[in-house]
Structure 1
């Protein structure tokens, strides 16, 4: 099985590289790297979710057919959902979609838009809502200057996203939240259940917005269990 992983706004593939050792035997962890970061640094940034999804689908085309699960965190959850829907429309319905720290995409957003704000205010609001930029990055102006356009592009893509009604997914969805996440209300997360014709679970974990990256949250154990069930089916 292939597990496609989609990071939060501004995120890259690094957090997922270490996940392989925690997965069941036979699962390949495949981080999906968006343009403008890491080894794709020279590629133009994308500010449109549809363009990101289309680029992801093109990147997947050369890969051999394989049962696929998808995971997306925060903005990555939107991308993962849209990729799952496109795979289903092409006759390759995924086995599972896991999302975290993102309200369901078909309900109106409750948070204010941030992408248009000046840099200082943009950083301040990201910190207030998500605790999102590490202190070691903010402490180095040159590093922050490199990171801000990447984060801003992803935030702009998330804020301009509009859900297009379509058939429900024919795969289970597991929607996860952090107990102390100020940006995601549990009832808005539970509405992911309206987007699948299969099983749905809403799970809560200790931590804030970035709980999946905390080894002590238990999140990776849940992912392993979910994938083990599908491999053994």
Structure 2
């Protein structure tokens, strides 16, 4: 069943009807469309940035977050099929990279393929998790692990009990989504994959990112950037310069 209001899912920070390519962007755990709000300024004018707004955050904070990746991508396929009147690419970071791959896999089953998929900050789904599962931990331990391992909770949220109570269900749902996704069978895409990572991120080391090579029948390359797991925020300009070079001639 198609979502009734697909625009809830897609937020373009800067509308660009003249663009000849749409870049759909998927966030990391706990993240929202605001991650990508500055991207249109630094990407070529032929690219329209379309951030995906997942339930349970920002403008959809009152909605229940989705904790099952397969259900989420089934909904997203129906949404995106209504917005594919021009070529498109997909970018996902960390949790978003798993969503991006599964979304591209399901679109391929509909004979629709992106021109590129950018999979950032996470190895392929057939690689075991670097850290023990977190999603079933009691709240205090869950928060501590997320803070110490991923630095995933902003300090302003940690210091505000009400914000923390609002934010916690989404974070737990996101970690459940990531840690319960089982897709051990490799289903290659028909489009090029760029695997991206931070040089100081043990989860997305070069050796781990190589695992995505088997997930495409097309070209594959790895690009590493200065920074840790959140290099896309720490070193946004370098990432977007690389993506600009890739997307500008399409």
TM-score (norm 1): 0.93
Aligned match of 1:72: 92
1:211 corresponds to which of 195, 218, 231: 231
How far did residue 215 of structure 1 move?
Answer: 4.2
How far did residue 18 of structure 1 move?
Answer: 1.3
In structure 2, stretches of 5+ residues that fail to align are: 1-20
**Closer, same or farther: CA 215–167 of 1 in aligned 2, 3 Å:** closer
Tell me if the contact between 1:37 and 1:150 (Cα under 8 Å) persists in the aligned partners.
Answer: yes
CA distance in 2, matches of 1:35, 1:156: 14
Aligned match of 1:130: 150
How far did residue 186 of structure 1 move?
Answer: 2.7
CA distance in 2, matches of 1:185, 1:166: 20
- Please state whether the residue corresponding to 1:71 is helix, strand or coil: strand
TM-score (norm 2): 0.87
2:39 corresponds to which of 7, 19, 23: 19
In structure 1, stretches of 5+ residues that fail to align are: none
Aligned match of 1:9: 29
How far did residue 198 of structure 1 move?
Answer: 1.2
CA-atom RMSD in angstroms: 1.5
1:80-113 CA distance string (max 9 Å, x none): 0111111111111110000111011122323210
Aligned match of 2:66: 46
Aligned match of 1:120: 140
CA distance in 2, matches of 1:182, 1:144: 27
- Please state whether the residue corresponding to 1:57 is helix, strand or coil: helix
CA distance in 2, matches of 1:168, 1:157: 21
2:171 corresponds to which of 145, 148, 151: 151
CA distance in 1, matches of 2:81, 2:105: 15
CA distance in 2, matches of 1:167, 1:48: 19
Tell me if the contact between 1:130 and 1:181 (Cα under 8 Å) persists in the aligned partners.
Answer: no
Tell me if the contact between 2:199 and 2:205 (Cα under 8 Å) persists in the aligned partners.
Answer: no
Tell me if the contact between 1:78 and 1:105 (Cα under 8 Å) persists in the aligned partners.
Answer: yes
How many pairs were matched up? 230
CA distance in 1, matches of 2:100, 2:236: 24
